[in-house]
Amino acid sequence: MAAEMTELRLKSFKSVRDATIRIHPLTLIVGRNGSGKSNILDALAVLSALATGTDLRDALDGGREGPVVRGGSQGCAPLGSDQFAIGCSVAIEGINYHLDIKIQTTPNLQIVSENLWTKRTFGPRRGEPLDLLKSEPPTPYSGDIVARWENGNRGVNPPVTMRANQLLTSQVATRVPATSQAGRRVHQVAESVIGAITSVFMLDPVPHQMREYVGEKDNHLRRNADNLSAVLRRLAADPEVRDSLLSMTRSLSEAQISDLNTVSSELGDVMVTIEEMIGGERQQVPARLMSDGTLRFLAISAAMLDTPRSDGHRDEGRLLVVEELENGLHPHKPHCFYADSKRPRSPEASGQSQRHIARPFSTRYPAQITSPWLSRAGAQMVGAESRDWSIFPTTSRWLAATRSGRALSRTACVPTKSMPGRRRSRSPRY
């Protein structure tokens, strides 16, 4: 079943309480330092880690790269609390399913409440909640927790014992019997919800780690993008994707870029190069000489054009998350990421229209919220100021009404006639 995450809920997570963030194909999180932008992205990272089904301690505090978020599991709870609560909604074939989780961080890290539910779609109780999997209050000093699953019969749903140190929904495949139609439905919904959550890909490019040769077969993008060269080599094998990469790269730089390629070492490792016109001659610029901004731009472009790698769950697409998109870029350059959400994907994604890439970005730069490109991309904005979360759709008229929006649009070479009700302005003063 095709599934995509449509909503993130932060009941109590770090500094955020009672926040609901709707996830669209392009979602821009805007706010000053300390306003809570990173906490939204951290919540997505926590959900994705929990959905792997591993032990909570390993998911949140372990791993080769350390804790999945700042402060690890204990840092997820608001100050003065020993619990945090997050959730999400996933659309599956037009029906919304919801997952709400509450986790205790001390003295033991464990699930204290979990509910996978939807709304009834027919019958006299239409519109009422229908619990597909709901936990009961935990037993003190026990490593287990009892949950009840929807078996489609009248009366109390049957119980099943699960481990309290793992996401309960991830245990459905081995704990809930699939001998009935109702049981199989719970299995299918749980699998699709887990697949949608694990599609979250947190991209945090580290430019200095992208400047070395990398093995050609190491070509599935990692979080820090240290294997960017091999990923770009694989993507560039498809002519359409190569053209898209080259077009996006040309839009970044004032230099005359004519080609994007890779070179190989004697050991068969690869490094990405850009061909530029320098002093009237074409010169190959390898990754080790590229600027931080260029490498970061290439990493984000690669993540947008790539297709997710299946990890055993159904491939539902990718939820690409990038913090502070404008890092290393001129303020008007991020529009290159907003402008076209329908660029060709990698060869593996060809002809599979159900795959998509949703893109929550965060930014500190206020001019980003007035970019006309956001309107064209159908963006959704989330404002974070003093922890007062508000959600508002972008429109051309609203964007064009601000001074910074008009200046930015001229810088980005967007015709002012695309802004309804505005006269052509004079050149901006700096």
Q: Is the pLDDT of residue 334 over 60?
A: no
**Token code pair at residue 50:** 């929990």
* pLDDT surpassing 80 at residue 202: yes
SS3 string, the chain, reads CCEEEEEEEEEEECCEEEEEEECCCEEEEEECCCCCHHHHHHHHHHHHHHCCCCCHHHHHHCCCCCCCCCCHHHHHCCCCCCEEEEEEEEEECCEEEEEEEEEECCCCCEEEEEEEEEECCCCCCCCCEEEEEEECCCCCCCCEEEEEECCCCCCCCCEEEEECCCCCHHHHHHHCCCCCHHHHHHHHHHHHHHHHHHCEEEECCCHHHHCCCEECCCCCCCCCCCCHHHHHHHHCCCHHHHHHHHHHHHHHCCCCEEEEEEEECCCCEEEEEEEEEECCEEEEEEHHHCCHHHHHHHHHHHHHHCCCCCCCCCCCCEEEEECCCCCCCCCCCCHHHHCCCCCCCCHHHCCCCCCCEEEEEEECCHHHHHCHHHHHCCCEEEEEECCEEEEEECCHHHHHCCHHHHHHHHHCCCCHHHCCCCCCCCCCCC
pLDDT at residue 384 is higher than 70? no
pLDDT above 50: residue 25: yes
Assess whether pLDDT exceeds 70 at residue 42. yes
Share of the chain above pLDDT 90, in %: 46
Task: Give the whole-angstrom CA distance, residue 395 versus residue 377.
Answer: 10
Per-residue pLDDT averaged across 279-296, rounded?
88
Lowest mean pLDDT among 23-37, 106-120, 135-149, 381-395: 381-395
Say if residue 430's pLDDT is above 80. no
Who wins on pLDDT, 315 or 142? Answer: 142
What's the whole-number average pLDDT of the chain? 78
Express each pLDDT in 338-359 by its tens digit.
Answer: 444 444 445 444 443 333 445 5
Could you report the per-residue pLDDT of 71-111, keeping only the tens digit for each?
A: 999 999 999 999 999 999 999 999 999 999 999 999 999 99
- Write down the domain spans for the chain: 1-199+308-394, 209-294
Residues making up the chain, counted from first to last: 430
Note the CATH number of domain 1-199+308-394: 3.40.50.300
What pLDDT sits at residue 248? 81
What is the model's pTM?
0.75
* pLDDT-based confidence at residue 200 (cuts at 50, 70, 90): confident
pLDDT, tens digit, 9 for 90 and up, residues 116-169: 999 998 888 889 999 999 999 999 889 999 999 999 999 999 999 999 999 999
Question: In this predicted structure, what is the pLDDT of residue 372?
Answer: 47
The Cα–Cα gap between 137 and 368 comes to: 45
Give dist(CA 399, CA 369) in Å, integer. Answer: 8
- The span from the CA of 272 to the CA of 179, in Å, is 52
Question: Where do we find the tokens 């990272």?
Answer: 45
Q: In this predicted model, which residue has the larger pLDDT, 408 or 206?
A: 206
Which residue bears the tokens 């032990």?
55
Please, are residues 13 and 39 in contact by the beta-carbon 8 Å criterion? yes
Query: Out of 78-87, 173-182, 202-211, which region has the weakest mean confidence (pLDDT)?
Result: 202-211
Q: Which residues contact 243 (CB under 8 A, 6 or more apart)?
A: 344
Side-chain-facing half-sphere of 243: CA atoms under 13 Å: 4
Residue 308 has pLDDT above 70, yes or no: no
Higher pLDDT, 199 or 95: 95
User: Which has the closest alpha carbon to 383: 121, 117, 27, 137?
Assistant: 27
**pLDDT surpassing 80 at residue 268:** yes
Q: Work out the pLDDT band at 317, boundaries 50, 70, 90.
A: low
CA distances for 105 relative to 48, 73, 111, angstroms: 18, 6, 9
Q: How far apart are CA 377 and CA 372, in angstroms?
A: 9
What is residue 55's predicted lDDT score, i.e. its pLDDT? Answer: 94
Tokens of 363: 């930014």
pLDDT of 309 strictly over 80: no
- State the Cα–Cα distance between residues 282 and 294, nearest whole angstrom: 18
381-401: average pLDDT = 40
Q: Which residue has the tokens 């997570």?
A: 13
Band of residue 336 on the pLDDT scale cut at 50, 70, 90:
low
Is residue 7's pLDDT more than 80? yes
pLDDT for the residue numbered 330: 58
What pLDDT shows up at residue 65? 66
Cα–Cα distance, 190 to 167 (Å, whole number): 11
- Confidence tier at 67 by pLDDT (50, 70, 90): confident
Can you tell me the distance from the alpha carbon of 132 to that of 401, in angstroms, rounded to the nearest whole number? Answer: 47
**Beta strands 3-13 and 357-363, pairing class:** unpaired
420 confidence band (pLDDT: 50, 70, 90): very low
The model's confidence at residue 270, banded by pLDDT at 50, 70 and 90, is very high
Residue of higher predicted confidence among 116 and 239: 116
Choice between 405 and 293, residue whose per-residue pLDDT is larger? 293
pLDDT at 385 over 60: no
